[in-house]
Structure 1
Amino acid sequence: MKAWILMMLALSLPVSAFAEEGGKEEGGAPKVAYVSLTPPFVGNYALDGSPRLHVYKADVALKVTGAEAEAAVKHQDPLIRNQLVALFAQQTVDSLSNVESKEKLRQEALKQVQQVMNTEEGKPIVEDLLFNNLIVQ
């Protein structure tokens, strides 16, 4: 009976050690995650008085490392979304017309998300921002 208990304890040690590491891969490095901000962003932009309505749809994902960072981004989701909606609404037809300007928008969006995280969590946390889809009309 004593040997059986010792064997069960020995078998359970590796499992509990793995459970404590949570968001880590096999090598011990933190796991990279992409947090999709859902639902996609949809709204108007370039409200310059012209009769034509300009609409955008953006599917955004944020790259973070570790389970704690992923949880922090999910916790701050409403504030991040608010900041990005305000940024997208400020855009003009020219700022969304070519690849270079969309890349500038992506970098500005990343900067603003990092500012939100820095203010709320004490560090930028988000490593990159990706447009999985960006449609403008």
Structure 2
Amino acid sequence: MLGDIWNATLKGMNDLAGSVGEGAREKSLALIEDWLEIFPQLAEYGLEITSFSMGLAISPSLNVELLGKHEDWSDEAIAKRLADHKGEHSITTVLSTIRTAYRLQKKTQAPLRDPLILKIVVRISPEVRVVLGQPILDD
């Protein structure tokens, strides 16, 4: 009797885990589809895709690295792009992160080094990383 209860509990947990896993996968893939739409616009702004990878798991992920030039990203250009894309979550997240990276870098009073590297990791919670200059260590 106890064994039957235990087996029924395990089966229920496995069924639940399978449906949760499938739901997370579908949500991740839909999120990735939304983010894919911004890359042509980023290319128009001078960012070139240098690396593109897709990971499939319970929670799929997309990793994209783009390379650009600092002269394409003045404060005025970023402000105009943010205004042009108001209400578009994915691209405004990227543009805001770039703006913040430049603002924080200026506060260090260190010289700005080439290149501009934009790394976007999309999963259930997207990550946008901006690198100003060539990183020595890869994380």
Q: Which has the higher contact order (CA 8 A, sep 6+)?
A: 1
- TM-score range with shorter-chain normalisation? 0.3 to 0.5
TM-score by length of 1: 0.34
Structure (1/2) with the larger strand percentage: 1
TM-score by length of 2: 0.33
